Amino acid sequence: MKITILTLFPSMFDGVFSNSIIKRAITKDLVQIEIINIRDYTLDKYSRVDTPPIGGGAGLIMKCQPIVDAIKSKSNIKTHKILLSPQGKTFTQDKAKEYASKVEHLLIVCGHYEGVDYRVNKYVDELVSIGDFILTGGEIGAMAITDAIIRLLDGAITSSSLDIETFDNNLLEYPQYTEPYDFNGDKVPSILYCGNHKAIEKYRRKESLRLTRIYRKDLFDKINLTKQDKKLLEEIDNNIDEPDWLKKAVEKGKKFIK
């Protein structure tokens, strides 16, 4: 996969793409990242890429010509072009999966200053937002989108790390723990030591349902609840923290608690 980012501030990406998972993915030739300076395409004799908005208003607006020429020079029939914009649909995990599996070349246009000339919209395939908040420019959004996509590429990280993740099936991920068992009186749930993988999976599903309903009701309402899910929710609603299935599993696993 290839990802091209059009920006006025290429140096912002130096550290982000030279570390950790992204660096390994680049080294393994899983992805090629190309950072393009929009300013290189301006035809203005003073190298300007922005001007005050026509009709008055605050700030500066990025001009059409440099952006459009950069888009045209760096895209082809296989390129999916997106502009980071508050007008766009919110970027999600499903969208990250779509890009990772179906897009051969993704081109991301980063706006900056007070915005981008509206006419640029017709030169891209999609408008994308990373959330309902304001940043100084699209660079941080481009970093987030790139990171979310690259980690999904085959070979970027171990496949087991992707098996169950937050937002899969509209669920938040269950709580995770590590040693020690007892940290300042706060103990790891004993069920996780039982060795009964089906019981652990059931417990984790219950916790995912619990957390999603508390913190992300918007996601919870989209879940297609199974019969087991409904029973687990009944246990939560009735404050049954240790149902019989959990007690039996914990009892068998007590010897593993350290």
In this predicted structure, the answer to whether residue 253 has a pLDDT above a threshold of 70 is no
**Confidence grade of residue 39 (pLDDT, cut at 50, 70, 90):** very high
Look at 21 and 211; give whichever has higher pLDDT.
211
Q: So what's the pLDDT on residue 124?
A: 97
**Confidence grade of residue 229 (pLDDT, cut at 50, 70, 90):** very high
Q: Which residue has the tokens 């990250």?
A: 96
Q: So what's the pLDDT on residue 159?
A: 58
Q: So what's the pLDDT on residue 162?
A: 52
CB 115 within 8 A of CB 52: no
Residues 92-125 have pLDDT tens digits of 999 999 999 999 999 999 998 788 999 999 999 9
pLDDT mean across residues, the chain: 89
State the Cα–Cα distance between residues 36 and 46, nearest whole angstrom. Answer: 19
Residues 142-165 have pLDDT tens digits of 999 999 999 999 988 765 555 555
Residues 126-147 have pLDDT tens digits of 999 999 888 889 999 999 999 9
Q: So what's the pLDDT on residue 79?
A: 97
State the Cα–Cα distance between residues 131 and 87, nearest whole angstrom. Answer: 10
Q: So what's the pLDDT on residue 41?
A: 97
Q: So what's the pLDDT on residue 40?
A: 96
Q: So what's the pLDDT on residue 84?
A: 95
User: Is 194 exposed, middle or buried (CB count within 10 Å of its CB: 0-12, 13-18, 19+)?
Assistant: buried
Share of the chain above pLDDT 70, in %: 93
Q: So what's the pLDDT on residue 19?
A: 80
State the Cα–Cα distance between residues 226 and 229, nearest whole angstrom. Answer: 5
- Give me the sign of the Cα torsion angle 36, 38, 44, 46: negative
Omega of the bond leading into 180 within 30 degrees of 0 (cis): yes
The average pLDDT across 5-27 equals 89
Q: So what's the pLDDT on residue 256?
A: 54
Share of the chain above pLDDT 90, in %: 59
Look at 107 and 21; give whichever has higher pLDDT.
107
Look at 163 and 252; give whichever has higher pLDDT.
252
